[in-house]
Structure 1
Amino acid sequence: MNITTYQENLTVQYCFPDNNSSCRKVVHTGPAYIFLLIVFSCISVCTVFLNLLVIISISHFKQLHTPTNLLILSLAVADLLVGLFLMPVKIMQVADSCWHLGEVGCYISPIINYLSISASLFSLVLIAVDRYIAVSDPLLYHTRITVCKMSVIITVGWSGSLFYVFMYLYFNDHFHQSQVRCYGECVLFIKHSWVITNLIIVFVSPCSVIIILYSIIFKVARRQAKAVRAVTNGVSKSQGEKVSNCSETKAAKTLGIVICVYILCWIPFFLSSLSVESVSSLSVLWTIFGWLVYMNSSVNPLIYAIFYSWFRESVKYIVSCRIFESSSSRINLFPERVGSQ
């Protein structure tokens, strides 16, 4: 794109013409920006809709009230925050350079942003731990990990994530807004020391734990699969027993895909944050990699739809409004298990 074409696509105005200290507004026009706005808006709507399906499914159907599904529910809530709050804000910033949500909105937006990030990663770490216990010690899993215990752990995790977010923003002077140069601006500058600290605490350390645990999980799963084949060699088993033997391994593989996708979406974002002395939340690079991160919140429900039969079944009941029928919460979402009994 040459300079003339670029200037034709930018119309300089003021965010608040009646305010003498107003920031200059750069309005992006042209078919390319309109296309981006439409695409981003569709992604936001799909993210909200798909994660609401996950939340309603696990919350409504009693058969899905398991410790592992509570972790999926926690992850879906964090993804819902992204689609419901963060994506619309980023879409507004793509449309023009002004901040239209006021000073309070400028304080709250980064809190929701980093809270959803921290809570997502915390949920993924717990998922890895949960699958490790389920695969390595399946006989004692249901006594060691209960719905009540998992609910407490998730509550503590979200509270700890919120505390870390406040500390992170406080030490980067977010609540003082000393970097604001004009009315209609909301910029978050992160000190380089905190970029490194955040990289270690929020990405490197937890992801290392996740990778190590899943390496152990798949080794144990392969060993168990060989043992099952050896024991059942020449012996006919019912379909229900086969489902029981492979359920934990299948869940580990499915959630392993969720974690791999998460890491791949985040790697460009964190690597780019190391390339500058101070990072602005309005930089073009962070905008591009930021949307890659946000799109991860849309991918997780699609992974569930592909690999989890219970999610596909529950969606049918939700879309057809059959969840409003009496006793719908007790519907069996695993009909294949009934036939095998």
Structure 2
Amino acid sequence: MEEHDGAELCFPQLFNDSCRKPKITHFETVLMNLLFFISLFTVFLNLLVIISLHTPTNLLLLSLAVSDFLTGLDSMLEAQRITTCWFLGDLICSLHGFFISIVFSASIGEMVLISIDRYVAICDPLHYPTRVTVRRVKMCVCIWWLFSVVYSGVLYRHNLEQPGTFKMCYGQCYIFMDIADGIVDIFLSFIAPVAVIIILYLRVFVTAVSQARAMRSNVAAITLQHSGTVMTKKSELKAARTLGVVVLVFLLCFCPCYSLAIIETVVALQGRENFNSLPGTVGTFLICINPCLNPVIYALFYPWFRKAIRLIFSLQILQPGSRETNML
């Protein structure tokens, strides 16, 4: 019996201090093994996006691709943390939590910035070229990444100051967060950004629908002639639609996990035990596959991305002057 128990421990030589190997269902095992291969695919696809977006015109998508690329790398560690014992040490565990918080915060911020960009482009097209400049976009992206680092550092300060202090046994990677920090994080990382994204895209949707109707009527020409109003270009409407799909997929992937976090916070405040790990595993899986879906959306909706992929695989990108290739 002792041999059997020892075989179930992460560190059989430490019978009193070792964690037991995680007990997960067959479905969870399949899910996490699938996540490992999806993570490799995510890294590859987003590397293609990063190579393709070598001009400053798509800085927001480039920043999103960088965070998705880093998420793909870190998702491999997350799959290992959930399915088996943690053998990489307390410091790596703390850095893992800190790192994944940075890239998730950056991704959420980029979705907000994309929504703002589309809002200005569709709802105020006359001022878009002066308000949304390359310099301002660079500044916003850098500020948000810096904010993500500082915010994650404050959120995971206990884990970074004292790695491994909060684990209950050897072989566990436990990321500690007190309830107050958890409530603040849910509001700043989920409720507030999602509310901003939904409000802005509802405005974009209403404006785009009204402009599309006006374009199909003779009233549009009369209005254009007499008032000088400039209608939004079709390309802007198409970009809004495509990025709207990206934002929608993002919300569908992130909402289950954060909704579960809200439920778990309420349960913790009531002093009850948490429920089984399956919903959490599914939520983690959805968040981690989101970075893999964005390049697929680009490939479906953006001809320039498909052209860029052909140039990369044909090695034409290595030829002199490839940077000036017209992708449109």
Equivalent residues in 2 for 1:144-163, closer than 5 Å = 144-163=131-150
Task: Compute the displacement of 1:106 (Å).
Answer: 1.2
What secondary structure sits across from 1:185 in the alignment? coil
Report the CA distance shift for 1:215/1:315 in structure 2 as closer, same or farther (over 3 A). Answer: same
Q: What's the counterpart of residue 323 of structure 2?
A: 329
Secondary structure of 1:52's match?
Answer: helix
The question of whether the paired residues in 2 share the 8 Å contact of 1:107 and 1:175 is answered with no
Q: How many angstroms does 1:14 deviate by?
A: 3.7
> Which whole-Å CA distance do the structure 1 matches of 2:289 and 2:311 have between them?
26
Aligned position for 2:99: 112
Q: 1:318 aligns with which of 300, 312, 319?
A: 312
Distance 1:30 1:152, change over 3 A: closer
- Distance change (3 Å), C-alpha of 1:306 and 1:89: same
Say if 2:116 is the partner of 1:93.
no
Contact 1:12/1:24 (<8 A) preserved: no
> Partner residue of 1:277?
268
Is 1:40 matched up with 2:28? no
The alignment's TM-score, normalised by the length of structure 2, stands at 0.84
The reply to whether residue 70 of structure 1 matches residue 59 of structure 2 is yes
In the alignment, is the contact (CA less than 8 A) between 1:71 and 1:123 conserved in 2? yes
Contact 1:14 1:22 in 2 (8 A): no
CA contact 2:9–2:15 (8 Å) conserved in 1: no
| Cα shift at 1:173 | 5.2
Question: 2: CA distance between counterparts of 1:114 and 1:216?
Answer: 30
Deviation at 1:226, TM superposition (A): 2.6
Provide the C-alpha distance between the structure 2 equivalents of 1:28 and 1:324, rounded to a whole number of angstroms.
Answer: 49
Question: Residue 228 of structure 2 aligns with which residue?
Answer: none
Name 1:226's counterpart in structure 2.
213
Q: 1:90 to 1:141 in 2, by over 3 A?
A: same
Residue type at the aligned position of 1:73: L
Distance in 1 between the 2:181 and 2:260 partners? 14
- Are residues 94 and 315 of structure 1, via their aligned partners in 2, closer, same or farther at CA, if it must alter by over 3 Å? same
Residues 29 and 285 from structure 1, CA distance in 2 versus in 1: closer, same or farther, beyond 3 angstroms?
Answer: closer
Residue 175 of structure 1 aligns with an amino acid whose one-letter code is E
Q: Which amino acid aligns with 1:292?
A: L
1:261–1:36 Cα change, 3 Å: closer
**Structure 2 vs 1, CA of residues 333 and 140 (structure 1 numbering), >3 Å: closer, same or farther?**
same
Structure 2 CA distance, aligned partners of 1:36 and 1:295?
11
Confirm or deny that 1:175 pairs with 2:164. no
Q: Is the 8 A contact 2:6 2:15 kept in 1?
A: no
Q: 1:59-81 CA deviation, whole Å, 9 max, x = no partner?
A: 2xx4xx21xx2111111111111
Once the two structures are TM-superposed, the CA of residue 17 in structure 1 deviates from its matched residue by 4.6
Tell me how far apart the structure 2 counterparts of residues 119 and 130 of structure 1 sit (CA, whole Å).
Answer: 16
| Contact persistence 1:174–1:188 (CA under 8 A) | no
Q: Contact 1:12/1:27 (CA < 8 Å) preserved in 2? A: no
**3-state SS, counterpart of residue 187 of structure 1:** coil
Quick check: 1:22–1:184 contact (8 Å CA) kept in 2? no
Q: Which runs of 5+ in 2 are unaligned?
A: 222-231
| Number of positions where the alignment pairs a residue of Structure 1 with one of Structure 2 | 308
When residues 102 and 331 of structure 1 are mapped into structure 2, their CA distance, relative to the original with a 3 A threshold, is same
Whether the aligned pair in 1 keeps the contact of 2:95 and 2:160 (CA below 8 Å) is no
Is the contact between residue 42 and residue 291 of structure 2 (CA under 8 Å) also seen in structure 1? yes
Contact 1:136 1:220 in 2 (8 A): yes
Cα root mean square deviation, aligned: 2.9
Deviation for aligned residue 1:301: 1.1
Letter in 1 for 2:52: S
Distance 1:284 1:35 in 2: 12
Paired letter, 2:200: L
State the alpha-carbon separation in 2 of the partners of residues 207 and 320 from structure 1. Answer: 40
Counterpart in 2 of 1:338?
none
Equivalent position of 1:136 in the other structure: 123
Opposite residue 71 of structure 1, the aligned amino acid is L
CA distance in 1, matches of 2:77, 2:159: 21
1:15 and 2:1 correspond: no
CA distance in 1, matches of 2:66, 2:287: 16
CA distance in 1, matches of 2:309, 2:144: 28
Provide the rounded CA distance (Å) in 2 between the counterparts of 1:217 and 1:260: 14
Structure 2 residue 287 is the aligned partner of structure 1 residue 293: yes
Q: Indicate if the aligned counterparts of 2:94 and 2:159 stay in contact, CA closer than 8 A.
A: no
Q: CA deviation at 1:157?
A: 0.6
Distance 1:272 1:194 in 2: 16
